[in-house]
Amino acid sequence: MRVPEMRRFGRWFGLVGLLLALSACRPAPLLRSATIQPDLLTPDGDGRNEVVAIRYALGRNAIVSIYFVGPDGTPRYFRREQPRPRGEYEVLFNGVVENQLLPDGHYTWVVEARDGSETAQITGTLTVSGSHPQALRITGFSISPPEFTPNRDGLSDRATINVCINRPAQILVYLEGADGVRYPVPRKEVQLRKPGEEGCHIFDYDAGVDRGQEPPPDGTYTVYAVAEDALGLRDVVTGTLTIREGGVPRAEILNGRVEFRSDISAGTGDYIPVNLGGFLYFTLTVHNYGAVPIRTSGPPPGTCYDLDQTFNTPQPGRPEGWAEESGAWRVGIDFDTSLRNYPFRWAVGRPEDLEVRIIDGRPYYYLPAGRTAIVTGCIRITYVPPRNPLYFWAGLIHEDVEIAPLNNRVDPHRVLIEGP
């Protein structure tokens, strides 16, 4: 090769190298591509064209926005100012922007990327058809009562939260404290509407006490009702609910011990003898070992029953007797041939052992947390039962709630009724 030719070749080779170097220094495109497929969205619940796929590729790290512009020129953002590293992306879009469903119409979609030196856009068209014209709304919301005492005393133990929705959606209700802790509220199971149906739904809240769980700490909570449909549209309403004196009630017959005796003997052998027409006496101690007071109702300790009576029998000063009261605790005595369980019942303490509270103008009596009370009573033996001798025992009854195993059939004593 001659020298001039070598010089020309050297100049050409140097130019190619310069172009390659410049190409290598040129930055990659900020927004390399963007598509939405298909270009028809029909969010009408028929299972076809319910979503579209948005795909885009970034050549460099960028701040990304995706929005739709309708005939009114207003941008409706699906993604706004989201930082994304370089790479390829795909996201499904069901028509919901800013918690609203895009109305039917023709839209220009825009995928926009920007960094510190450049802004790039790629646009296209999207048609929306069959969009639900009605926005999801919680149309009714109430909390009753606004303050309650979940301690199973039968008084203001539950709060009812009603939530009404204008179209099908799932409903979530929960309490949130100042510390951000959430407590779920279950939907009442027995009601006419199924979960998710349009209309009003009932949420029955006992703070977990009915299941033996400790309730949230006393205080005022924000109640959230959240409705969300299949498309992800949501509506939220809030209220307040105050919990006071919440807790699981716990009490027992102290040491599981009951002292029985008759007016002729305390019994030193296999049984306690008692004469027909005589009295069988008992003494026991009730211990409230829980964190909340327990409510009780009469008759007071010391009351005597005839063997053929029950707590519903009229008594002096109490012609209606002492009917069961939901949530009240009572000491009961039962025996082998009784026609009903624990026919003889007494309050869990004397008036001087109990606190008195006036609620809606009526007095209610409570044995405070941590306290004990001695309970006594007697039964006059007015007939000889079919089984003799027979067993008598005690129980601690939480009326219309439960008789806990440790408080049922406590310390049975064998009694022999003597006489003609």
Tens digits of pLDDT across the chain (420 residues) = 554 554 554 554 455 444 444 445 567 899 999 999 999 999 877 778 889 999 999 999 999 999 999 989 999 999 999 999 999 999 999 998 988 889 999 999 999 999 988 999 999 999 999 877 678 999 999 999 999 999 999 999 999 999 999 999 999 999 999 999 999 999 886 677 899 999 999 999 999 998 889 999 999 999 999 999 888 889 999 999 999 999 999 999 999 999 999 988 876 678 999 999 999 999 999 999 999 999 999 899 999 999 999 998 887 778 778 899 999 999 999 999 999 999 999 999 999 999 999 998 999 999 999 999 999 999 999 999 999 999 999 999 999 999 999 999 999 999 999 986
Instruction: Count structural domains, the chain.
Output: 3
Strands 119-128, 75-84: pairing kind: unpaired
Residues 122 and 208 reside in one and the same domain: no
Same domain? 277 vs 387: yes
Whether residue 147 is found in the same domain as residue 79: no
Q: Do 123 and 160 fall within a single domain?
A: no
Question: Domain limits at 86?
Answer: 30-128
Is 11 inside a domain boundary? no
Out of 211, 243, 275, a domain closes at 243
Place of tokens 């058809």: 129
Residues 118 and 159 in one domain: no
Residue 262 and residue 189 share a domain: no
Of 128, 162, 182, which residue sits at a domain end? 128
Q: Are residues 162 and 103 in the same domain?
A: no
Q: What is the pTM of this model?
A: 0.76
Chosen domain end from 128, 157, 176: 128
Q: Are residues 155 and 303 in the same domain?
A: no
Cα–Cα distance measured from residue 171 to residue 225, given in angstroms and rounded to the nearest whole number: 7
Q: Domain for residue 14, yes or no?
A: no
Look at residues 419, 399, 397 and name the one whose alpha carbon lies nearest to residue 408: 397
Whether the Cβ atoms of residue 226 and residue 138 lie closer than 8 Å to each other: no
For residue 353, the SS3 value is helix
Q: Tell whether 284 and 217 lie within a shared domain.
A: no
Same domain flag for 274 and 414? yes
Helix (H, G, I), strand (E, B) or coil at 135: coil
Same domain, 265 and 405: yes
